[in-house]
Amino acid sequence: MSIPNAGRRKIRPTHPGAMLREDFLPEYGLTVSALAEALGVSRQTMSELLRERRAVGPEMALRLSRLFSNSPEFWLNAQRAVDLWDAAKALKGRVERIKPLRVRAAMALRIKAGDPEFAATMNTAERFLNRYRNALRNLAK
């Protein structure tokens, strides 16, 4: 299940490098060299990130979150927003041509095709639900 996003962003999300360059460096009075040293990375790596030529990965997100006392998710979510924006622009109308499947239609296709893996998954799910219901009944007693 998903929640439809009614509006599309008109401008590109802020790159984490721009956040560092515009907000964090001046606020903390850091230079590129000092930031690189504090994070334990090369000045070139830091410079590429600040110029938005490098993405923030999990390792860098952990380093930044430790240094600035925020969460790695803050940095990764900022990078993800930029990556999704860039991918949407690169794909343009190709994604819109994909017709969404409805869950029942997808299940019907798999059942009709006789997918043994799907049947096994459904049997496992049914057994789990039955055990869960029985456990709840036993707790209620």
pLDDT in tens, 104-135: 766 666 666 677 777 677 777 778 778 888 88
Which one, of 26, 27, 25, 20, lies nearest residue 54 by Cα?
20
pTM > 0.75: no
Region of 31 please: left (phi>0), alpha (psi -120 to 50) or beta.
Answer: beta
Task: Give yes or no for a contact between 72 and 65, defined as CB atoms under 8 angstroms apart.
Answer: yes
Q: φ and ψ at 123, to 5 degrees?
A: -65, -40
pLDDT in tens, 27-48: 999 999 999 999 999 999 999 9
Q: What is the C-alpha separation between 84 and 12, in angstroms, rounded?
A: 10
Q: So where are the chain's domains?
A: 16-94, 103-140
List b or e across 54-82, with b for residues whose CB sees 16 or more CB atoms inside 10 angstroms: bbbeeebbebbbeeeeeebebbbebbebb
Residue with tokens 């009075």: 29
- Give the pLDDT confidence score for residue 96 in this predicted structure: 86
Per-residue pLDDT tens over the stretch 90-103? 998 898 888 888 77
Pick the CATH number of 16-94 from 3.40.50.2000, 1.10.260.40, 3.40.1440.10, 3.30.420.40: 1.10.260.40
- The CA distances from residue 83 to 4, 18, 78, 119, 122, in Å, are 19, 14, 9, 37, 35
